[in-house]
Structure 1
Amino acid sequence: MRRFSVFLVFFLLLGLASSKSAAANAVPRQVLFQMEDPRGDDRGPGTYVYPKGPVFDPRHGLYDLTTFRVEVDDSSYYFYFTFAEKLSNPWGAPEGFSHQRIALYIDSQPNQGRSETWREGAYVDFDPRHGWEYFIDVTGWHKGAVYYWNQRKTEPGRRQGLLFRRATDGKTVEAVIPREALDEHPETWYYYVLIGSQDPIGPDGWRPVLAKATEWQFGGGTDTNLDPNVLDVLAPAAGENSQSSQLGSYSVEKQRLAVVKPVHPEQPVSIKKYTWYDRLVLAVREKGNAILKKYPWNIYFPVYVAAILAFLILLLLIGFNLANWRRRRK
């Protein structure tokens, strides 16, 4: 009887240890920011037209950002960019998307950062009150990286631990960035989201916008390096900060680039802190839900009753043996 009880205690402790290990991964993802973008606005300042080539069919929606969302868990930040049309992959990028050129700039600290893009290509500037500290280059062919405002342009970006892929819904690009690559205060972040078209021979990988559309280039621009090569930005639908106002603020006469404004949560969200007990409760709840889903209560009711009785008997045996042990000690 004594050996049997020792084994029972051992397995109970083993179960607790397993639960503690599971608790480390039980923290649910927390949504830090989400914003909808107007549909049908992948026309830059409103004048741009798609290239004539069939690879750009249906010639609308491929670059039309509809939702931007940011999440976090214990290990990573998750950035989601959802588009109006399914993400086609005509050139076979391993990440699952070939058309979209996504540039995410984050302003995380006041009174520092850059107000120009990492390299010339998008042909926009940023609000000087909100210079960027992080640039997440979301692109295909293993070129995605994180760049920092205070590093030299000749230095490579961080690629270790990063993941870029097409999500299962077929319309969303997902960027997974380790938390140590960015700072721990997303409640201070302002976001610039720029959408263009990938072009391996374009300036910094951006497909140019010309005055007239060709088979491979967009039309509706000015044949200069002053009109943006940006087709969509995350912006409100109307007002002085609308997309057309921002991307249309360039001037050929004054040799001035368009200035883009960032977006920011109306109610900033800090990362939740979880105690060990919180994590254990979440782990047990997650495990319990998984068991109930696999073995429904209404079908396996006798099994659950037997398991509960066995557990109660286990507790009684442990209590009985502890009581005996204490009597012998006296």
Structure 2
Amino acid sequence: MVSVYAMGGPAPQGPAGAYRVTMLDPIGDDDGPGTYTYPTDPVYVRGSFDLTKVDIEDAGDNVIFKVSVNAPISNPWGMASGFSVQMIEIYIDTDHQAGSGFTNTMAGIDVLFSSDEGWEKCVIISPQPISRVKGEVTGKSPDLASGLVVPVTTVPSAGTLIATVRKADLGAPQPGWGYQVLMQSNEGFPERDVILSRMVNEYNGQHRFGGGSDWRGDPQVMDILVPPAKGGADEISKQHEILSKYHADEDAAKIVYAVVPMVYPGASQ
């Protein structure tokens, strides 16, 4: 289901005026355009990149993002953050105005947004230190750095990552906001033009996803939200269709990137 309780709406719990959004994603679509496979190393447990639920809640001075996957959150590399494997980018359209916001994604993700669904804020949930996330974005996507928001804390709980973002950095969530959640994997030693995410290649390897291309242009995401984000089985085929509309090529001028949609929980989809 997709629920919005905002600006005095009928919130069943919590204070009057609280904003809450729940978006669901079907199980078993952690294969990008339908062809992607996990790395072979056992730390990449099946379901670790299978997005199942996203909760967003206004919590006074903060906004809480809860992103759930179809496997326990683990920390095989012993990172101080308490998790190691996932890396998530949450793109937010705060005005839903044509021609407003960014249409490119952070370096290395290789998908686009349409010009009428550009984003103003991007919350990156990464196990890397805050300073490193900011440094990577400033160095590799300087034109997008003004939209970056990094959580002050991210806490793993069972199969959920709970990220706390300062409202001063994000703004107060509104019923008209749109969201897209791109699921990737943390990479501490990324390519020179990739921000902390793991590449998809033609064939998978110990620490590489497979089923894509060794050239650039294939979507570097394992799972996304698909409107209306109710978790229906039809959203699997829709995801595959969306992410299959790309052309990878060794010639950058010939690349065609897949265009991903926003989900607007406060509007009919």
> If the length of structure 1 is used for normalisation, what is the TM-score?
0.65
Tell me, what secondary structure is at the counterpart of 1:247? Answer: helix
Which residue of the partner structure matches residue 205 of structure 2? 214
Q: Give the one of 245, 251, 254 matched to 1:249.
A: 245
Q: Could you say if the C-alpha distance between residues 131 and 153 of structure 1 is closer, same or farther in structure 2, counting changes exceeding 3 Å?
A: closer
Task: Report the alpha carbon displacement of residue 228 of structure 1 after superposing the two structures with TM.
Answer: 1.1
Tell me, what secondary structure is at the counterpart of 1:180? Answer: helix
Is 1:163 the equivalent of 2:153? Answer: yes
* Distance of 1:157 and 1:191 partners within structure 2: 14
- Counterpart amino acid of 1:71? E
Q: Is the 8 A contact 1:47 1:220 kept in 2?
A: yes
Is 1:55 the equivalent of 2:46? Answer: no
Which residue of the partner structure matches residue 260 of structure 2? 260
- 1:295-330 per-position Cα deviation (integer Å, ceiling 9, x unaligned): xxxxxxxxxxxxxxxxxxxxxxxxxxxxxxxxxxxx
Q: Is the 8 A contact 1:29 1:73 kept in 2?
A: no
Paired residues in the alignment total 234
Tell me, what secondary structure is at the counterpart of 2:116? Answer: coil
Q: Give the one of 29, 33, 36 matched to 1:41.
A: 29
Task: Report the alpha carbon displacement of residue 183 of structure 1 after superposing the two structures with TM.
Answer: 2.5
* Distance of 2:223 and 2:144 partners within structure 1: 25
Is 1:101 the equivalent of 2:87? Answer: yes
Task: Report the alpha carbon displacement of residue 184 of structure 1 after superposing the two structures with TM.
Answer: 2.7
* Distance of 1:29 and 1:87 partners within structure 2: 32
Which residue of the partner structure matches residue 67 of structure 2? 81
Task: Report the alpha carbon displacement of residue 165 of structure 1 after superposing the two structures with TM.
Answer: 1.6
Which residue of the partner structure matches residue 91 of structure 1? 77
Q: Percent identity?
A: 31
- 1:46-91 per-position Cα deviation (integer Å, ceiling 9, x unaligned): 10111111222x4x20100100111112221111101110011111
Q: Could you say if the C-alpha distance between residues 225 and 50 of structure 1 is closer, same or farther in structure 2, counting changes exceeding 3 Å?
A: same
Q: Give the one of 201, 223, 238 matched to 1:232.
A: 223
- 1:144-194 per-position Cα deviation (integer Å, ceiling 9, x unaligned): 56x89xx745779565x7221213xx1101111122222235212100100
Q: Give the one of 95, 108, 123 matched to 1:136.
A: 123
- Counterpart amino acid of 1:46? G
Q: Could you say if the C-alpha distance between residues 201 and 156 of structure 1 is closer, same or farther in structure 2, counting changes exceeding 3 Å?
A: farther
Which residue of the partner structure matches residue 108 of structure 2? 121
- Counterpart amino acid of 1:131? G
- Counterpart amino acid of 2:226? A
* Distance of 1:127 and 1:91 partners within structure 2: 37
Tell me, what secondary structure is at the counterpart of 1:117? Answer: coil
* Distance of 1:201 and 1:222 partners within structure 2: 20
Q: Is the 8 A contact 1:127 1:262 kept in 2?
A: no
Q: Is the 8 A contact 2:26 2:236 kept in 1?
A: no
Question: Which structure has more helix as a fraction of its residues?
Answer: 1
5+ residue gaps, structure 2: 1-13, 228-232
5+ residue gaps, structure 1: 1-25, 269-330
* Structure with the greater alpha carbon radius of gyration: 1
- 1:267-317 per-position Cα deviation (integer Å, ceiling 9, x unaligned): 59xxxxxxxxxxxxxxxxxxxxxxxxxxxxxxxxxxxxxxxxxxxxxxxxx
* Distance of 1:220 and 1:240 partners within structure 2: 17
* Distance of 2:236 and 2:210 partners within structure 1: 25
* Distance of 1:29 and 1:215 partners within structure 2: 48
